[in-house]
Structure 1
Amino acid sequence: MPNYNNLLVEETDGILYVTINRPKALNALNQETMGELEALFGSDYASRKDLKGVLITGAGDRAFVAGADIKEFLGVAAAGSGKEMATRGQDVFFLIERFHAPVIALVNGFALGGGCELAMACHMRVATEQARFGQPEVNLGIIPGYGGTQRLNQLIGKGKAIELTLTGNMLDAAEAHRIGLVNYTLPAAEARAKAIELLQTIGTKGPVAVAESIKAINAYYASSDFEEEAAAFGRASGTKDFAEGAAAFVEKRKADFKGE
């Protein structure tokens, strides 16, 4: 089994259990973690046709993934490479969305920004009652860049997606379930059991049929404009507003945006 620095990976009865293991950083997605997800889904397990599925969760009891690494974002903005960062993140999450076996996000706390985008890239989402969801990038003067503007539309519809993206408001688990962002919301112990049950049930079906179903359903959304999202992320990441928003986040103060 491959070794990772930020992922804990175990396999039991054909199910791969992946834990994003940066609890002190609320499991924030830095570039090293993105690289490990890329390796896991893109090469390390991509040829494992015997897998029944994958369950992704976050270490600890506070966060699934609380977002991306903001300090890394500041470096990206300074280098003027926001579009490239967004495109790379999208490509990693495409590997998850297009994985041949079902991938379930077990959301056990905050799923914000890149964490919400990661959960949405998975085929299904099972949430614990303490889970919280949101795309708060506007609070930093930036936009979702890892597929959030596209997949949020797909899952909950345009009107609600615009509301959540522009306000940056968080949803609790019950509301996320009500609007279709998650498949199930349950107490913590029951949520994990439900996710495993789903993967075990799918694991009894024809593997080729499962893989082809994933391809066919994804094909419906093939015209979504992820490229425009990456370009818009790049433009926003080069603004003074983003530099101010990110600095305010790090310094734990309210941002003073100028529209520049």
Structure 2
Amino acid sequence: MDKYIIRRNNKGIVWFTINRPEKRNAIDYEVMDGLSETISEVKNNQSDKVFVITGIGEKAFCSGGDLAAFQNLMTKEDAYKMLSKMGEILYSLATLEKPTVALLNGLAIGGGCELATACDYRLAFRESRFGFVQGRLGITTGWGGATLLLERVSTDKALQMLLTGNIYTAVEGKDLGYINHILSKDLPNNECEEYISKQIIHNTKVIEAYKKVVNRKWVATQLKQRMFREIEECSVLWASDEHHQAVSSFMNKNN
């Protein structure tokens, strides 16, 4: 079974669906490569206008990194190689000169929140929940997600989400300014496309020009450098005994 599904429609919307329901749509190296390749394709394909990321089913958008795939990364150097790989992908997603949408069809936790945060818009089922829970494993956001979060919501709201590690509902996420729109579960893809058609009305050239304005701000404020300092700090925590013990306990609990 393919770990991700790519679909294009006649409106120029590209759908990237993580297809790992047995892993709550967790990200492994294959999904990373799929995201990287698809972002590059969307960037270079003039007929692609909007990029939407979601997960298969109604239970999980993305549960973050697949711990089974990454549990053997013991050292700071090993961790940094994986974390920086995904950091590069999220930076390319955040700076893509076409609108990006995360459709939260279910639970988004840990790295799943980082993936959603890299997108321009976050739409969610009313039943969806999300949370930056990395601290429970003795680490911080490892893919640059905290830096990106500070670009999306106010500092106090970002700290609240990061420091508490709380799981929030979609309604609470809208109040925090994190979720842009709440969808019904009946026809979410249609409703998502309707939202896109109302929010993104200009032609592709105009949209790209506006996104370049945003990107220039992020270059000036060293977004990428800030993301990678965050990734460096996480890689140090990743190599700690506390993190390895937390991962071991989690894996034993789920086996």
TM-score, normalised with respect to structure 2 = 0.91
Of the candidates 150, 154, 161, which is equivalent to residue 158 of structure 2? 161
Whether the 8 Å contact between 1:49 and 1:100 is mirrored in structure 2 is: no
Within the alignment, does 1:118 sit opposite 2:111 as a pair?
no
How far apart are residue 203 of structure 1 and its match?
6.2
The 3 A distance-change label for structure 1 pair 124 and 203 is closer
How far apart are residue 110 of structure 1 and its match?
0.6
Q: Quote the residue 2:243 is aligned against.
A: 242
CA distance in structure 1 between the aligned counterparts of 2:122 and 2:112, rounded to whole angstroms: 12
Task: Count residues with an aligned counterpart.
Answer: 249
Matches within 5 A, 1:3-18: 5-13=2-10, 14-18=12-16
Query: Aligned to 2:127, what secondary structure does the other structure show?
Result: coil
Q: What residue ranges of structure 1 are gaps of 5+ in the alignment? A: 254-260
CA distance in structure 2 between the aligned counterparts of 1:51 and 1:21, rounded to whole angstroms: 22
Paired amino acid for 2:91: F
Q: What residue ranges of structure 2 are gaps of 5+ in the alignment? A: none
Of the candidates 141, 154, 176, which is equivalent to residue 173 of structure 2? 176
Q: Percent identity?
A: 27
The 3 A distance-change label for structure 1 pair 214 and 179 is same
CA distance in structure 1 between the aligned counterparts of 2:76 and 2:157, rounded to whole angstroms: 34
Q: Quote the residue 1:228 is aligned against.
A: 229
CA deviations on 1:2-61 (whole Å, 9 max, x unpaired) are: xx931111111121122110011010011110111011112x333112222122110011
Point out the more displaced range, 105-114 or 161-170. Answer: 161-170
Of the candidates 71, 82, 91, which is equivalent to residue 88 of structure 2? 91
Query: Aligned to 2:6, what secondary structure does the other structure show?
Result: strand
Structure 1 vs Structure 2 CA RMSD: 1.9
CA deviations on 1:130-185 (whole Å, 9 max, x unpaired) are: 11111111111111111211122222222222232222111110000111101101
Point out the more displaced range, 159-168 or 72-81. Answer: 72-81
CA distance in structure 2 between the aligned counterparts of 1:227 and 1:12, rounded to whole angstroms: 35
How far apart are residue 213 of structure 1 and its match?
1.0
Q: Quote the residue 1:23 is aligned against.
A: 21
Point out the more displaced range, 92-101 or 192-201. Answer: 192-201
Query: Aligned to 1:246, what secondary structure does the other structure show?
Result: helix
TM superposition outliers: structure 1 runs of 4+ over 6 Å: none
